[in-house]
Amino acid sequence: MVHGVMHDKSSPTWQIIEYLQRHHTATIKDLEQLLGVTTTAVRQHLRTLQMEGYVDRTTVHSGVGRPHHAYVMTEAARGLFDCHCDDLALTMLEEMFEMVGPDHVSVLLGRVSNRLANRYAGSVTAEALNRRVEQMAVVLNRQGVLTDVLAQDDDTIILKTYNCPYHELAQEHRQICDMDQDMLQKVLGSDVSLSACIMDGDTGCSFIVTRNRTVDAVEARAP
């Protein structure tokens, strides 16, 4: 069962689910390359996932060539990546938002941002900015947030998350997105902007990490 492999991120079925979360569709050939196994083995894994309701097969018409089959995730599979707050925690946060009122929600979330930043700071200790971002990605993945460091150049690094740990709250309170951005900025010690957001219908949240003078000064002192 897929629920069983949630604790085994190296299992073939979980790797297929994770690939689809990132790329949305996959062909048999894509999955052969991903897993390094035969077509027969890929089909067996897909059959299991289809039987459990996590994967559907669709027909793709592209260009003048023959239609081909591709595989996509179902809503049930997407639910595996939802980092839901439990009912008690979610209800308590909603009640606190009601109690403090809209004018003070940002202050409350600022305090939450500080606490989260302090919690993660011990795991993000590298001096070089690119290594700090990589360490942050490891932290987020351990928290159940599927995260990649997608691209970087001399000045910017892109940190992309594919599921939202605060999905329920963020739907009602978009300040949650600001809190997440602020937390990353504090932990990384650099400028962070949100260029794409799951709440806006994007495939993931893309955080653009930009070098600033403070980080440049730290890295210049590094041996």
Strand segments, DSSP code E, in the chain are 25-26, 55-60, 68-73, 147-152, 156-161, 191-196, 205-210
Contact 22, 162 (CB under 8 A): yes
Q: Same domain for 61 and 135? A: no
Same domain, yes or no: 49 and 150 = no
Does 82 have pLDDT greater than 80? no
Is residue 108 domain-shared with residue 137, that is, in the same domain? yes
Q: Over 80: is that where the pLDDT of 194 sits?
A: yes
CA gap 38, 192 in Å, rounded: 42
Query: What pLDDT score does 21 carry?
Result: 87
Cβ neighbours of residue 177 closer than 8 Å, sequence gap 6 or more: 170, 194, 197, 199, 205
Structural domain for 6, as ranges: 2-81
pTM of the model: 0.74
171 and 127 in a common domain: yes
Q: What is the CATH number of the domain that holds 6?
A: 1.10.10.10
Same domain, 157 and 176: yes
What φ, ψ does residue 26 adopt, rounded to 5°? -155, 145
Q: Specify the DSSP class assigned to residue 90.
A: H
Q: Kindly state whether residues 34 and 52 are assigned to the same domain.
A: yes
Average pLDDT for 121-146? 92
Give per-residue pLDDT as tens, 85-112: 556 666 777 788 788 877 788 888 888 8
The confidence score (pLDDT) of residue 84 equals 52
Concatenated DSSP letters for 127-147? SSHHHHHHHHHHHHHHTT--E
pLDDT of 7: 47
Domain tally, the chain:
2
- Asked if residue 135 has pLDDT above 50, the reply is yes
Q: Are residues 77 and 98 both part of a single domain?
A: no
Q: Each residue of 1-54: pLDDT tens digit?
A: 455 444 466 789 999 998 998 888 999 999 999 999 999 999 999 999 999 899
Q: Which domain CATH number covers 125? A: 3.30.1380
pLDDT band at 215 (very low <50, low <70, confident <90, very high): very low
Q: Are residues 150 and 191 in the same domain?
A: yes
Contacts of 179 (CB under 8 A, 6+ apart): 109, 110, 112, 113
| Alpha carbons 223 and 221: distance in angstroms, whole number | 6
How far is it, in rounded angstroms, from Cα 18 to Cα 113?
A: 28
